[in-house]
Amino acid sequence: MDFTLADRLRSLFDHLGLQRAHIATQLPGEISDFVRESPQRVAGLLCMEAIGLDPAPFQSVANRMVIVAGDSGMSAKVAEAAVPMLSGAQRVILPGYGAPVWADSVSDHAETVVSALLTLTGDATSPAHARKSGEHDGISYTVCGAGPALLLFPLFLSSAQWRAALPEISRHYTVFLLGGSHLGGVALLEDRAASSSYAAMIHTVLDVINPEAGQTLLEVGAGSGAVARIAARHKTAIGPMTAVDINEFLLEEAKSLAQRDGLGARITFAPGNAESLPFGDASFDHAFSVTVLEECDADVALRELLRVVKPGGRVGVIVRAIDMPFLWNVNVPDDLKRKIELAPALIGPKGVADRRLYTSMSKAGFTDLTCFPMLSSFDQISGPFWTYLESRLLSRLTSNEVDVFRGAAAQARAAGVLFCSCPHHCVVGRKPVS
């Protein structure tokens, strides 16, 4: 029998001596099975700027839920749809706030978030002997404070995570900061890269870049390091790799995972901003970036990529494609089909997530462009990336539409053909020699 995340969480509770604990998360989907199967162990639940929330698994704990969200943006829409279906749940509004999913929302509204956390008044266990740190069943934890137990799950793509709230909440709770490859954004990025078609997309871009043995390679936007590890194992004998990211939290996880896979000596992870890379001109033979230019100033980032590669070097870029439909392989009416095929618009004000990528590469100065859209498919329906995609979808549907979708998904699953395909735009260009 597979060891599920719900199993890991129950085992962690037992390991820590917790009968009941408060939980705070940005990705409710990762705890949905645990809550459904063990609601008595959840003393209180805070959803922090949730980017998807299927209300069904949380009905049994709705009266002890707090949903914190801005008054605009994606999380506001999620909260507006979910709260009416969760009887007794509180909503805390962050006024004038609609930040993207990669924002440091806790830092931006630390006082409000602390106040919301302090409303979790259910009967949580006060640990008799709080360990300072450790790891159990693939979940790491660091402990601070004293009082009832509060488990802080990793925020999705936040660099500062819960740091701004810790000094105050550790005066009221025994705080367990959780981490590892099974939780949060790290779990999503790792599970995404585990898809054979997603990995094939990475390999295709690397094949077009075509690095020669020993040539240096830079990745901009390393995330959990999953793509860097794919590149390090690519069939071409790629030379020393450097992978940068602006997110300090993800960089630490990436280093740990590379060491785990025996690739710590092959990849150097370092802090770096795509809009101002910390390298001199012509520092690398080739470079690539995967699903990063949606979130930054794409034109500036492309000029930086051009600057840091050597003349004649190639740069590969992949972005999510919001101008192409998502494919959910379910048999639903046409009006619902059109709705579920809409691509989620996770894009910054100066980002690119459509076919403009190709002309942007040309305008930045790249030549000999190879342009190709690709699909990556996901069918591991118990995995964190599928849960993330599905929870974001369900949060946009009415209750009747959810029922129709679930019925169609169950039929497709029984037939062994349930999957979702996500579109991307890919391009490889060359830096001119002169």
Angle, vertex CA 63, rays to CA 57 and CA 68, nearest 5: 80
Q: Are residues 174 and 195 located together in one domain of the fold? A: no
Q: Are 198 and 161 in the same domain?
A: no
pLDDT in tens, 315-369: 999 999 999 999 999 999 999 999 999 877 778 899 999 999 999 999 999 999 9
CA distance 268 to 245: 11
- ∠ CA 62-66-67, nearest 5°, is 105
CATH of the domain at 16: 3.40.50
Average pLDDT over residues 35-44: 97
Segment among 111-115, 166-170, 281-285, 380-384 with least mean pLDDT: 380-384
Last residue of one domain, picked from the residues 129, 149, 179: 179
Q: Is residue 148 located within the same domain as residue 85?
A: yes
Residues 199 and 158 in one domain: no
Number of domains in the chain: 2
248-260 vs 184-194: helix crossing angle, rounded to 10 = 50
Average pLDDT over residues 88-114: 93
Mean pLDDT within 232-239: 77
Count of beta carbons in the 10 Å neighbourhood of residue 72: 14
> Do the strands 149-152 and 267-271 form a parallel or antiparallel pair, or are they unpaired?
unpaired
Predicted pLDDT at 239: 78
Please say if the pLDDT value at position 399 is more than 90.
Answer: no
Last residue of a domain, one of 179, 203, 235: 179
In this structure, the answer to whether residues 155 and 251 fall within a common structural domain is no
- If asked whether residues 158 and 215 sit together in one domain, one would say no
Together in a domain, 403 and 358: yes
Predicted local distance difference test score (pLDDT) of residue 316: 98
Residue 391 pLDDT > 90, yes or no? no
pLDDT band per the 50, 70, 90 thresholds, residue 130: low
Name the pLDDT band for 293 (thresholds 50, 70, 90). very high
Is the same domain home to 317 and 295? yes
In the listed set 155, 179, 203, which residue is the last one of a domain according to the structure? 179
pLDDT of 16 reads 93
**Alpha carbon distance 67, 48 (integer Å):** 6
Q: What is the mean pLDDT of residues 76-93?
A: 93
- Residues 71 and 50: their CA atoms lie apart, in Å, by 13
pLDDT band at 1 (very low <50, low <70, confident <90, very high): very low
Cα–Cα nearest to 393, from 325, 334, 347: 325
Same domain, 154 and 257: no
105: confidence class by pLDDT, cuts 50, 70, 90:
very high
219 in the same domain as 172? no
Residue with tokens 């034109």: 299
**CATH code for the domain in which residue 277 is found:** 3.40.50.150
**Structural domain range at position 269:** 187-430
Q: How far apart are CA 385 and CA 188, in angstroms?
A: 5
Q: Supply the pLDDT for residue 213.
A: 86
- Please give, one letter per residue, the 3-state secondary structure of the chain: CCCCHHHHHHHHHHHHCCCCEEEEECCHHHHHHHHHHCHHHEEEEEEECCCCCCCHHHHHHHHHEEEEEECCHHHHHHHHHHHHHCCCCEEEEECCCCCCCCCCHHHHCHHHHHHHHCCCCCCCCCCCCCCCEEEECCEEEEEEECCCEEEECCCCCCCCCCHHHHHHHCCCCEEEEEECCCCHHHHHHHHHHHCHHHHHHHHHHHHHHCCCCCCCEEEECCCCCHHHHHHHCCCCCCCCEEEEECCHHHHHHHHHHHHHCCCCCCEEEEECECCECCCCCCCECEEEEECCCCCCCHHHHHHHHHHHECCCCEEEEEEECCCCCCEECCCCCHHHHHHHCCCCCCCCCCCCCCCHHHHHHHHHCCEEEEEEEEEEEECCCCCHHHHHHHHHHHCCCCHHHHHHHHHHHHHHHHCCCCCEEEEEEEEEEECCCC
Do 222 and 145 fall into the same domain?
A: no
Lowest mean pLDDT, pick from 57-66, 73-82, 215-224? 73-82
Query: Stretch 225-239: mean pLDDT, rounded?
Result: 86
Task: Tell me, yes or no, whether 33 and 77 share the same domain.
Answer: yes
